[in-house]
Structure 1
Amino acid sequence: MALKVDELRIYYQTLRGEVKAVDGLSFQVKDGEIMGLAGESGCGKSTLNNSLILLKPPMKYNSGEVILNNHKLPIYDYEAMRSYRFKEVSIIPQYAMNALNPIKKLRQIISDLLEHHGKSFTKMKDTIEERLSLVELDKKVLDLYPIELSGGMNQRMVMVVSTLLNPSLLLADEITSALDVSSQKAVSKMIVEFRDREIVKSVIFVTHDISILYQVADSIMIMYAGKQVERASTETIVKKPLHPYTKLLISSLPEVGIKHSETPLKGIPGRPPELLNPPIGCRFKDRCPVASERCDEEPPLVEVEPGHQVACWKVGSE
């Protein structure tokens, strides 16, 4: 098992109190697995990803364990995590244009990273050029500044930098959100190729777009208001979802060949709860079409069939 997360709680410290962005999350990611992570904005997806590599204020570690390759990650300790970043766990951030130091050429950025981990640019020159070729970038870009690259080129350059040390776990955080459709497809395919070539062992691919995950992910975990509500294979989540929230999420997606005039898209009524003071019980109950009095108690995450977990009293009772 590449990654095991147990009862992780990551909050945001504010003047009004603690915002419970990730609240008791437990899951595992296998070696070679691409796990998609989906849900509405504000559900805790990016908070989870960022907490696994760089916990910055106002983010605050509350409790829980993160085990990677049988070693406990000290995610609560900024300095202790230095030796793990990029080498064991790495991230492709959401905004590639802001990810690379604008006053350094790409060659120097890579050199600094390698030097921090006891390696040299010269000895890794062939690997660097090979990786650039893999993402269809010419080695001449090494003598450019990040601002001289297009958005798509910057995204691919960040992918090179983030995977240069072959990390066990790669965190991809909304990496397709600012790209056109063709670039989205190309970047997504590169993530799969990194896994297939064993450049990275496992991936957590965060996005609000389940249609992208359907193309690249082996499994999908659905989050809502800081909690996990469903986890299963990608095919099961898309074709046979069980949690009411997942069903509504899937039904809100456009389908190829279906005209909006004939079959209008369905939105999810209401708004997500305030995580400063989340509701007691199921956090989806106020928006759920099948909620009952029992939902005033928080439903446990139950394995309804091998590899398929759901947190819903209605599903559990059936």
Structure 2
Amino acid sequence: MTVPAATSVRSLLQVRDLRVSYGEGASAVPAVRGVDLTLGAGQTLGIAGESGCGKSTLALALLRLLPPTARLSGEVLLDGEDVLAMRWGRLRAVRWAGASIVFQGAMHSLNAVHRVGEQIAEPLLVHGRATEGAATRRSVELLEQVGLPAGRAGAYPHELSGGQRQRVMIAMALACDPQLIVADEPTTALDVMIQAQILRLITELVTDQDIGLLMISHDLAVLAETCDRLAVMYAGRVVEEGPAQEVYDAAVHPYGRALSAAFPRIGDPSSRRSPRGLPGDPPDPLALPDGCAFRPRCPVALDACGPDEPLLREASAGRWAACVRVEREDV
């Protein structure tokens, strides 16, 4: 079931019944199970969930960056063209130019033996967007655009701080003027001050350049501050989707509420003095329970939560949740 876009802006990205598994036959591990998403130009969509819920697999699937063991089905429409059906040459042309990705852990994503300016210029040269001299000048402009001095272009990754390396990754993602940027945990391992700077930078770039941003994080507070809309994933499925601040403040799905409650609220002494976690662990993808996958951990589970897995249903205007309580008065 495709969740409709929140506004009437042009759809940049449409994900329809995306399924990803690793391996084959009875031992195949289902990582993403029928995800539907829509993102418009100039919009930001956050994807949240615990480790193992399928967030990063989803991000990599959007540009077919998964290993050969992955099996994909469904549609990933980038400006109307299905990424999953593209021939290799077309896919190579779309990466960086049509859509780019900012990976978590910039130190592991950058080439340690090449200067960062060269790495920013590389996609421009590969895609024939500039001559070598023009690409070098453009790499300096991009560094300045993300708040780094021009002189940093001659630095190696190990000579930069974590926040500076993350800015380099963002500059690389912007090099070929893509329509879509996928940011997978872009502030992982950064201190709170640098994290705030990176998030502010990303938000400003989306607004100024009218690009679409899909940001992945386990931190609902970060996504609520940065994104227009928020989708919460559990066991490979989207279980809630809606305006980011509304999902963070008043989630409809019990898992969304538990995830939100796990983060202390600034200015709320009660949340700091009585932090709430979520007992138990996410289910084994090879042994998912009948009905709602969250049922074994859900504090308000009902008999009606099984045996069928609930579908996304409209809980209110612009709000969707995969919970049987959506149909009841006690949501």
TM over 0.5: yes
The Cα of 1:193 is off from its aligned counterpart by: 1.1
Q: Which moved more, 1:255-264 or 1:278-287?
A: 255-264
Look up the match of 1:253. Answer: 263
Aligned residue number for residue 325 of structure 2:
314
Contact 2:20 2:70 in 1 (8 A): yes
Counterparts in 2 of 1:282 and 1:265: CA distance versus 1, 3 Å:
same
| CA drift at 1:133 | 1.2
Q: CA deviation at 1:79?
A: 5.5
Deviation per residue, 1:264-290 (Å, 9 max, x gap): 111112211001232222110111122
Partner of 2:239: 229
The equivalences for 1:239-318 within 5 A come to 239-259=249-269, 263-296=273-306, 297-318=308-329
Matched, 1:133 2:133: no
- Alpha-carbon distance in structure 1 between the residues aligned to 2:138 and 2:125: 15
8 Å CA contact 2:19, 2:32 repeated in 1: yes
Distance 1:56 1:261 in 2: 39
Match of 1:32 in 2: 42
Question: Is residue 43–residue 224 contact of structure 1 (8 Å, CA) maintained in 2?
Answer: yes
TM-superposed deviation, 1:142 = 1.8
The one-character-per-residue Cα deviations of 1:15-64 (angstroms, maximum 9, x if unpaired) are 98111111110110111111111111111111101111243326513310
Q: How high is the sequence identity, in percent, across the aligned residues?
A: 35
More deviation in 259-268 or 146-155? Answer: 259-268
- What is the letter of the counterpart of residue 209 of structure 1? D
Partner of 1:21: 31
Return 44-53 or 128-137, whichever deviates more: 128-137
Q: Does the residue aligned with 2:195 lie in a helix, a strand or coil?
A: helix
TM (norm. structure 2) is 0.89
The partner residue of 1:218 within 223, 228, 233 is 228
2:106 to 92, 96, 109: 96
Which of the numbers 155, 161, 170 marks the counterpart of 1:150? 161
TM-fit CA distance, 1:98: 1.1
**1: CA distance, partners of 2:89 / 2:66:** 12
Quick check: 2:57–2:66 contact (8 Å CA) kept in 1?
Answer: no
How many angstroms does 1:306 deviate by? 2.4
Check conservation: 1:92, 1:171, Cα contact below 8 A: yes
The 3-state SS of whatever aligns with 1:232 is: strand
On the 8 A contact 1:19/1:277 being kept in 2, the answer is no
Which of 70, 73, 77 pairs up with 1:67? 77
Q: Which sits farther off after the overlay, 184-193 or 61-70? A: 61-70
Q: Residues of 2 paired with 1:140 and 1:16: CA distance?
A: 55
User: Does structure 2 retain, via aligned residues, the 8 Å contact 1:75–1:81?
Assistant: no
Partner of residue 170, structure 1: 181
Mapped partners of 2:261, 2:85: distance in 1: 36
Residue identity in the other structure for 2:140: E
TM-score by length of 1: 0.93
2:11 is the alignment partner of 1:4: no
For structure 1, which segment, 251-260 or 269-278, has the greater mean C-alpha deviation from structure 2 after superposition? 251-260
Give 1:41's aligned residue: 51
Do the aligned partners of 1:33 and 1:218 also contact (CA within 8 Å) in 2? Answer: yes
Indicate conservation of the 8 Å contact 2:32/2:236, yes or no. Answer: yes
| RMSD between aligned residues | 2.1
Identify which range, 12-21 or 44-53, moves more after superposition: 12-21
Q: SS in structure 1 opposite 2:45?
A: strand
Q: Secondary structure at the match of 1:197?
A: helix
Rounded Cα–Cα distance in structure 1 between residues aligned with 2:300 and 2:26: 33
Contact residue 10 and residue 59 of structure 1 kept, 8 A:
no
Q: Distance in 2 between matches of 1:209 and 1:261?
A: 16
CA spacing shift, 1:278–1:259, aligned 2, 3 Å: same
Q: Gaps spanning 5+ residues in structure 1: where?
A: none
* 1:54/1:75 contact within 8 Å kept: no
1:52 aligns with one of 62, 66, 83: 62
SS state at 1:314 partner: helix
Compute the displacement of 1:81 (Å). Answer: 2.0
Question: Secondary structure at 1:123's aligned position in 2?
Answer: helix
Structure 1 residues 126-164: Cα deviation after superposition (integer angstroms, max 9, x where no partner): 543332112221112222222222221111111101111
The structure carrying a bigger helix percent of its residues is: 2
Change in CA separation of 1:142 and 1:253 when aligned onto 2, cut-off 3 Å = same
Report the residue type matching 2:43 in the other structure.
E
